[in-house]
Every structure is written in C-alpha cells, then in structure tokens.
Structure 1
Amino acid sequence: MENKITGHELIALGFAPKKWFAEALEYINENQLEGKELLDYLESYRLPDFIPLMEKPVDFIVNIKAENESEVDNVTKVINTMNVLMKTPTLVSGAIMPDACPTGPEGHIPVGGVVAAKNAIHPGFHSADICCSVMLTDFGKVDPKEVLDAAHSITHFGYGGRPRGEQMEMSQELMDAFRENLFLNDERLISIARSHMGTQGDGNHFLFVGISKNTGNTMVVTHHGSRAPGAVLYDKGMKVANRFRMELSPETLKENAWIPFDTEEGQAYWEALQLIRKWTKENHEAIHNATLEKLNIEKRDRYWNEHNFVFRDGDLFYHAKGATPLDDKFLPDITGPRLIPLNMAAPVLIVSGATNERNLGFAPHGAGRNFSRTQHKKSLAHKGIEEIFAEETKDLDIRFFTNDVDISELPSAYKSAKNVRAQIEEFGLCEVIDEVLPFGCIMAGDVQKNATWKKKKKFRK
C-alpha cells in the first residue's frame, strides 16, 4: 500500500472523528489493511445506532393521592414528570410513593420515585446525596435529655468537614479500597472523606432522640448521606454517563443519562457506590458510637437503611430517589427493620415489609413537601420566627447547631405525617411495627444566615 490511510478516509467511510482514530490508523497502516480487511477491522469501532426514547412511557404504579387542595398541584406535577421520565429507554418499571414531590423540570425523577433499569446505572436518579440514609441505636433505659446533650456535644452539622484536631477516624481498610477504585482513587476525594467523617451536613438531615412505643427505651436516629465524597462521585458519574448518552441515546435528557453496567466504567461505578455506602454507614456509626462512649453505655440494638441509592436484583437496577427498601434482597447487610422519619414532631416509624404488586419492594422515606422552602417561608412571613418555633415545637427539645432557627425544617414545611401514614396503610406498602416517639432533635439550622463567606464579605466592606 503506497499511500497511508488518514483520518480523512475514515471520515469518508462514515466515522466521526474520535480518540481511537490514532490507534486505528497506526494498526491499519502497519498491517497495510485495505478492502474488506480494512472494513472488517473498522466495524469493531462502529457505534450501534442511537437508542431512541420510547414512544409511550412504561407503566408505573401510583401510590399517592391529593388529600387537600394544596396537594393537587404537587401530585399532578409528580405524575407528569414520571410520564416523561418513563420514556427513558433503559426503564422497565416504576412507582411513586405517598411522600412524592417534584425535584425539577418535567422528566427529572421525583423524590419518592422508584424506577427499575435494565443493565444500567443512572447517577442522576440517586443525585448528589448518594446513600442518604437513617440509622437507629437503642440506648436502653436512659434519660433522653442526657442522650441528646451527649449527642449534641459530639455531632457536627453545616458546610465542610470537621476542623483539624476534631476529626473522626476513617478506617484504613476503606481508604485502601477507595484507592483501588477507578472513580474514588483521588487523593483530594479521600482527604475530603477523612475530614467529613462524623458530619451530618445541612438541609433535612438530623439527629433525633425519642422513646420506643413498644419498649420505652431511648433511641437515637441519625439522618444524612455521603456528604462531599458522595457529591464528588456523583459529579464524576454524571460526566461518564453523559459521554455514554451522547454515543448511545442523545435524545435522553442529560439528567437521565446512564452508564451501561456491562462496561468497565459500569462495573467500577457500581463498586464505587458500594464503597460510598460503607463510608456512609461508618459515618453514622462514628456519631452513635462516640455518644455511647461518652455516656459509658453499651448499645442494645442497631439497624439502618438507605433511602436514596441504587439496588441490584440480577440485571435490574432499582433506583430509589427517596424511597425505603423493604425487600431483603436489596440489602447486603440485613440489620433489622426499616426506618421512616416524618418530621421532628412526629414519630419515626419502624416498619417491615416485602415486595408486593404495588410497591416494587419499597416504601416512602419520609413526609415529602408540597411547597419549596422559599414558598413555605413566604407563607409564614406574617409571623415572627420565635412565634412559629414555639407553636410548632411545643413540649419538644428542638435544637439548631448554628443556633439560628430554620423554619423550612419545622413540621409545617412538610406534608401531613398523618396523611402519609394513612396512605402507607391504604396502598398496603408496609407494616408499622413500632414507633420512636419524639423527645428532641438537632438540625443544622439556618446555615446561610451567618455563613463564613458572608462574614468575610461584610468585613471587606
């Protein structure tokens, strides 16, 4: 072959310029491929035809209904967004829970949504708060105020990690596993994971102390996700998923992009999710164990579950965007019944259940919202913050880590706990076997009010 094949010839044969051109051209010219041999070799680089969106949405189960006028708009938006979402070509089934609420434009998975994808992992379906989860520890017959005081001295809310000298230890085994993973082998990420151990973040995350209705024992329940390490993994996963989306299904919404499980990236991302899961569980345990140690108490019992994660059953990947897994097949470390917190003034439900014709193996994860935080604050603008706080937290020991009340986390910001519980029963989603009756709760508070960057800005002025 006198003349070398160049990229121009490959483009003329219908191939879009890609990184593989250099490798392929070197092989072609070294081996002087031409004619049928050349075309046969190039076929290994040819991408399959684009996968189109489905013409009609896959059927999904609706386990929610509007109990009052203010919920009509919310339920309508949830169903509308599911109708767009369920045209994503990987999806085979779906369900929405009684606590469902939209998270963005139509087509985005709602909070309280569950979808099953075949051989595909969708990072956008678990979002940046990977493995948002709850853990319960039974402290036995001990004064709940003592437990709340001890926990308050130990836990950490707000942006960023713990200051140097106050950090809780991340296990060496987990750090080593991070370094062996394609997505987590990042020293900056590992440094963040170390500093964020023992932290709970902000928003709706909490440390709740209450009394078991069945036993009278004092219980601690924590709620948080994988913090900044999970957020970094999510960003990396979305970039990889969108690369596959452009090659496989550009019609799919960017937020609904997926990583094929049968690729190197898919296998590595699945393993990364499991490691982030272990980090999150270790994070819960660090706070609970330190509180036990401060009080010189041995735990009576402990269990936990995620409600914002990806769960595998064969070639199906169930993505729960705020939904509690019931079926034991979804959890590699069965630790007891599941937990559904509702709001700071309502009991945390302890539930059990299995897959049935309505739930896909899941239950609600909480109470959800009918209105955004901003809308809720505007609706209460005619009242003072202290008045609102006193009305909604009567007889409870409610604390905010920043000492600034966040009214967007008070009970009225959420759907009616009573209605959510009634719909759990009406749709036969799971069974309530115990309740943790509220004594007190710690949350982040209004982290925006006295944020560090605002103080710096004020100082500069």
Structure 2
Amino acid sequence: MEKEKISNGEISNLGVTDLELIITFSRVANGLLKHNVMDKPQILANLEALIDDPMPYALKKGGKFKNLAEKVIELRKEGKFVKQQRSVHELKKEIANFPVYGVENIEPGALAQMRTAIQLPIAVAGALMPDAHHGYGLPIGGVLATRADTIIPYAVGVDIACRMCLSIFDLPADSIDAKQDDLKSLLLNNTHFGIGSETKSHYDTTLFDRLEWSATKQIRSLKNKAYKQLGTSGTGNHFVEWGELNVSEGALDGVPSGNYLALLSHSGSRGFGGSIAAYYSEIAMKKTKLPQEAKHLAWLDMNSEEGQEYWIAMNLAGDYASANHHEIHNKIAKAMKLEPLMRIENHHNFAWKEQLADGTEVMVHRKGATPAGEGVLGIIPGSMSTPGFVVRGKGNAESINSASHGAGRLMSRSAAFKTIKRDLVAAELLDKKITLLGSDLDEAPMVYKNIHTVMAAQHDLVDVLAKFQPRIVRMADPKERPED
C-alpha cells in the first residue's frame, strides 16, 4: 500500500508559492509524517498557523517547526515571503431569533454566548435550554444547527457523548433501606472514579473489535487507554447511584406502574473522548479563523480529511460512552443475579445529522441538551438530593427536538467552595435520606438550579413518564479535578 504523503500542491494551497520554499516545507512535513511524529491534518494545521505567525514556532526550543519558522522570518526580512493576511470569517451582523426556555433563570453570559453562536456564518438555527449556563464556545444547554457540511468540536463539548443510563430492576424501592449495605458494596466494588481511573476486569470488550479503532492515527494511539478505562466514570458531576423510581400507569412499555429499585449513571467517553476533543478543536481553531469572541466555535469542513476523521472519532466515542455505562450496569446486574426490566439511555454532548421542520439538512450540536424528538425516551437528572425524570420527547420543532440535560449549575465550583457550608449540605442529605460516597462542595445540591422550575419551563418539549429519587450516590473522591 502506498504510504501517505503531503503533496506540493497541498503546501502551495497554504500560500507557499516559491518552489525552493515548497521543497523545504515538503521535506519537513513528510519527515514528520514518515516518522509518525504527527498525522497529516495536524501537520497541515501547524504549517498554516506558522505561515500566519512564525514567531511562536521560532521561539520554541527544540520545536519540530523551529528551523522552518526561522527560514520564513529570514525571508520576510528580505521581503521575499510577505505575510499573507488570512481571512477571518465575519459574524452575521443581525442576530437571528432563537427560543430561550426559562429565560428568567439563565445567566447573561450564557445568553451572550448563544447570541454569538447564532451569528456564525454557518449557523442555521439555535435554541437555549432552561438549564443553560456559561461554557466554552457554545453554552452548556445550547443547541445549534449548522450547515450539514460543518461540525464544531467545541459545540459538541470536551466530554464527547456524555451520557445518561438507567436500569430498572424488578425489586421494590424499599430495597434501598432493607439492603443498604449490600447496595453500597455493589457500587463500591463495580464503579471506578477519578482522572486516569482504570479497570482490571471487563464484562464485554467486543466494541474493540470494530474497524474504526484502526481508522486514524489519533484513534489508534488512544485505543489502549480506552480499553483500560472501559467501565469507569471520571470526575466532576459524573455519578452512579441507586434510587427509587416511580413509574406512572402505562408510561413505560413492559414496566407496570409502581415504585422500583433503579440504577442511574452519568459519564462520558473518558480520556478517549477528551483527547479527541482537544486534538480536533486545536485543528479547527487553526484552520477556521473567527473573531475573538467566537474563536471556540471554529468548525471543521465535513468534506475535509480532518472533518471526516473527527466524525468517525466522535461517533466511536459515542458508542464507547454507551459501552462504559453498560459495563457498570451489567457487572452490577450480574452480581445481583438479576436482569433489568428495562434500560433507558441517551447522549447529551454530541452532533447529529438531522432535518429541520422545513426539510433543511443540518448538523445539530447538542452541548448539554437531551434529544427530544417525538417519542424519543431520555433522562433528565436533578442533583444528588433532588429527583430526576424519565421523559418522552414531543418533537418540538422550535427547540430543534431538544430538552435540558439536567438542572444546570447556579454557581461555579470556586464559588461553591467559598459560599456553601458543609453542615447545610449534611442536613440536606440527612433530610432526603441520601447516602453519599465521595464528592465535595462543588457538587452540593445548592450549586444547581431548582429541577422543578427547569422541568416546568420545558413542558412543551417533553412528557414526564417516571420520577427518580437518588438515595445512594457514588461520585469521585473530594479534590479530584473535575473533567465534566
């Protein structure tokens, strides 16, 4: 098979026209490619950035592009390789209307970020969910539909395919009190939290037989890490918890009305997804220049090599995130010698190829938003002491078939440590009969919005089918750096 190369044409497309300089660029680029130092999209992105501004590369001691940057600087001093102004994509002058659910409870920073996002030249439609708060690029709780041939890594999010998963067991809810020690042990023995946390035994590793794990150099380099972290949950707002699930009559097929023992988990694609997000976000920001306030909304062209690579990696991260949850739920179910009556799950940091109500094909980014197409089941959690809800989407076109992904934060983590008192948290947990394993003040119930207010703001978006009340909550140990 012919080895991959970076052609002279690809280099000249970056703005290099002098033949001698093209040869020099080619020698450096293909040398890096040959020795597997970087892959092709990363090399081209760095070359493009170097042409724009060689000084950072020239100053980097031992940098791979240092000699090349010094050559460019030398030529410019001689007036031979004049810097070409890279075009900056201008934002739309007018801000298109977009629906905001629960606007009275959304911070100004999140609204400002959504207004910037809707001004992107590739933006088609947007919506802001009632749990929205400030994030990178697109706010958490933001939904953005862009042209179908574009995708924005930061509008998907750093924790690609962060996900909810619920298993309903045919045991009464009061099992939580009757068998509390056993249920605590099941969580402690079958969950793993923390940055870099790994598992030594697996339930099902067939996901790693997929061809996509060999699709790109970036994916291949992360496969071993992903394997070791299969079945782990990370830090921040990620959790695995037992709770009481109250199911309404006729709400869930195959599950009679009543109160059940249920297992709920929240986490994503771990180090694999985080590395993919960082890698392609960097490439997007180097290739797509935007005004400062919109720089984190840089997109990749879906017709480009890097766009296709990200699409493959993102979808693989989605399946991997699902497998992570299944590992936890299946291990616990096996230890209980009991199959769940039903399992419900959904992503909330992802991009989907969809159609708007008028038939326009778009890329829908839901960053901290739950898919809520007509009849689609999903889970919207509250906090460690407040209920979450199993919902069915109504297919509301105005919200781009979306709903909130939780209650949403009221305050930053640093503010939580400064203002929240431990005795008040302890009193709240005691009042709600919550047993907490791990966590710290930055995930206290008080840092979140009122989940009932959030649900009331989206009654046009979802129907509530069941209510989940947390009782035994497992999270990362205190002081672990959050990665949600």
Q: Does 1:92 align with 2:133?
A: no
Q: Which residue of 2 aligns with 1:327?
A: 373
Q: Which residue of 2 aligns with 1:236?
A: 279
Q: TM-score scaled to structure 1, two decimals?
A: 0.78
3-state DSSP of counterpart to 2:231: coil
Q: Does 1:377 align with 2:411?
A: no
Q: 2:229 aligns with which of 187, 196, 213?
A: 196
Deviation at 1:171, TM superposition (A): 2.2
Q: In the alignment, is the contact (CA less than 8 A) between 2:123 and 2:144 conserved in 1?
A: yes
Q: In the alignment, is the contact (CA less than 8 A) between 1:202 and 1:447 conserved in 2?
A: no
Change (3 A) 1:81 1:167: same
Q: 1:181 aligns with which of 175, 190, 215?
A: 215
Instruction: Measure, in 1, the Cα distance between the counterparts of 2:476 and 2:429.
Output: 17
Change (3 A) 1:18 1:236: farther
3-state DSSP of counterpart to 2:107: helix
Deviation at 1:379, TM superposition (A): 1.7
Q: 1:60 aligns with which of 83, 98, 107?
A: 98
Q: In the alignment, is the contact (CA less than 8 A) between 2:379 and 2:389 conserved in 1?
A: yes
Q: What amino acid is the match of 2:343?
A: R
Q: Which residue of 2 aligns with 1:279?
A: 320
Deviation at 1:235, TM superposition (A): 1.4
Instruction: Measure, in 1, the Cα distance between the counterparts of 2:451 and 2:318.
Output: 28
Q: Which residue of 2 aligns with 1:432?
A: 464
Q: In the alignment, is the contact (CA less than 8 A) between 1:174 and 1:279 conserved in 2?
A: no
Instruction: Measure, in 2, the Cα distance between the counterparts of 1:56 and 1:93.
Output: 13
**1:127-160 CA-partner distances (Å, limit 9, x unpaired):** 2111111001111115233444312321011121
Q: Which residue of 1 aligns with 2:145?
A: 116
Deviation at 1:430, TM superposition (A): 1.1
Change (3 A) 1:169 1:216: closer
Instruction: Measure, in 1, the Cα distance between the counterparts of 2:209 and 2:280.
Output: 20
Q: Which has the higher mean CA deviation after the structures are superposed, 306-315 or 295-304?
A: 306-315
Deviation at 1:86, TM superposition (A): 1.8
Instruction: Measure, in 1, the Cα distance between the counterparts of 2:153 and 2:219.
Output: 18
Q: What amino acid is the match of 2:161?
A: C
- % identity of equivalent residues: 27
Change (3 A) 1:251 1:303: same
Instruction: Measure, in 1, the Cα distance between the counterparts of 2:160 and 2:349.
Output: 6
Q: 1:155 aligns with which of 191, 195, 199?
A: 191
Q: In the alignment, is the contact (CA less than 8 A) between 2:216 and 2:309 conserved in 1?
A: yes
Deviation at 1:300, TM superposition (A): 1.1
Q: In the alignment, is the contact (CA less than 8 A) between 2:372 and 2:378 conserved in 1?
A: yes
3-state DSSP of counterpart to 2:271: helix
Instruction: Measure, in 2, the Cα distance between the counterparts of 1:88 and 1:348.
Output: 34
Q: 2:399 aligns with which of 354, 359, 375?
A: 359
Stretches of structure 2 that go unaligned for 5 or more consecutive residues are: 1-7, 28-83, 248-257, 356-360
Q: Any residues of structure 2 matched to 1:282-297 within 5 Å, and which?
A: 282-297=323-338
**1:336-393 CA-partner distances (Å, limit 9, x unpaired):** 621000112222201111332431100000011121111122222xx4x245323344
**1:1-53 CA-partner distances (Å, limit 9, x unpaired):** xxxxxx9xx99x99445999449999xxxxxxxxxxxxxxxxxxx99976422
Q: 2:261 aligns with which of 218, 239, 246?
A: 218
Change (3 A) 1:448 1:353: closer
Instruction: Measure, in 2, the Cα distance between the counterparts of 1:176 and 1:18.
Output: 44
Q: In the alignment, is the contact (CA less than 8 A) between 1:137 and 1:300 conserved in 2?
A: yes
Instruction: Measure, in 2, the Cα distance between the counterparts of 1:92 and 1:323.
Output: 18
Q: Does 1:317 align with 2:363?
A: yes
Instruction: Measure, in 1, the Cα distance between the counterparts of 2:311 and 2:229.
Output: 22
Q: In the alignment, is the contact (CA less than 8 A) between 1:139 and 1:218 conserved in 2?
A: yes
3-state DSSP of counterpart to 2:99: strand
Q: In the alignment, is the contact (CA less than 8 A) between 2:214 and 2:220 conserved in 1?
A: no
**1:274-324 CA-partner distances (Å, limit 9, x unpaired):** 111111111000000000111111121112001111111154111111000
Q: TM-score scaled to structure 2, two decimals?
A: 0.74
Q: In the alignment, is the contact (CA less than 8 A) between 1:63 and 1:358 conserved in 2?
A: no
Q: What amino acid is the match of 1:400?
A: L
Q: Which has the higher mean CA deviation after the structures are superposed, 142-151 or 122-131?
A: 142-151
3-state DSSP of counterpart to 2:457: helix
Q: Which residue of 2 aligns with 1:101?
A: 133
Q: 2:443 aligns with which of 382, 385, 409?
A: 409
Q: 2:434 aligns with which of 383, 397, 419?
A: 397
Deviation at 1:191, TM superposition (A): 1.5
Q: What amino acid is the match of 2:442?
A: S
3-state DSSP of counterpart to 2:166: strand
Q: What amino acid is the match of 1:80?
A: A
Instruction: Measure, in 2, the Cα distance between the counterparts of 1:424 and 1:283.
Output: 29
3-state DSSP of counterpart to 2:316: helix
Q: In the alignment, is the contact (CA less than 8 A) between 1:52 and 1:251 conserved in 2?
A: no
Q: Which has the higher mean CA deviation after the structures are superposed, 126-135 or 237-246?
A: 237-246
Q: Which residue of 2 aligns with 1:125?
A: 155
Q: What amino acid is the match of 1:135?
A: C
Q: Which residue of 1 aligns with 2:113?
A: 81
3-state DSSP of counterpart to 2:414: helix
Instruction: Measure, in 2, the Cα distance between the counterparts of 1:197 and 1:357.
Output: 36
Instruction: Measure, in 2, the Cα distance between the counterparts of 1:184 and 1:302.
Output: 32
Instruction: Measure, in 2, the Cα distance between the counterparts of 1:57 and 1:183.
Output: 40
Q: In the alignment, is the contact (CA less than 8 A) between 2:373 and 2:396 conserved in 1?
A: no
Instruction: Measure, in 1, the Cα distance between the counterparts of 2:386 and 2:471.
Output: 10
Instruction: Measure, in 2, the Cα distance between the counterparts of 1:273 and 1:414.
Output: 28
Deviation at 1:264, TM superposition (A): 2.5
Q: Which residue of 2 aligns with 1:31?
A: none
Q: Which residue of 2 aligns with 1:4?
A: none
Deviation at 1:267, TM superposition (A): 2.0
Q: 2:242 aligns with which of 187, 200, 209?
A: 209
Q: 1:421 aligns with which of 445, 455, 474?
A: 455
What number of residue pairs does the alignment pair up? Answer: 394
Change (3 A) 1:138 1:14: closer
Q: In the alignment, is the contact (CA less than 8 A) between 2:372 and 2:401 conserved in 1?
A: yes
Q: In the alignment, is the contact (CA less than 8 A) between 1:58 and 1:91 conserved in 2?
A: no
3-state DSSP of counterpart to 1:286: helix
Stretches of structure 1 that go unaligned for 5 or more consecutive residues are: 1-6, 27-45, 329-333, 452-461
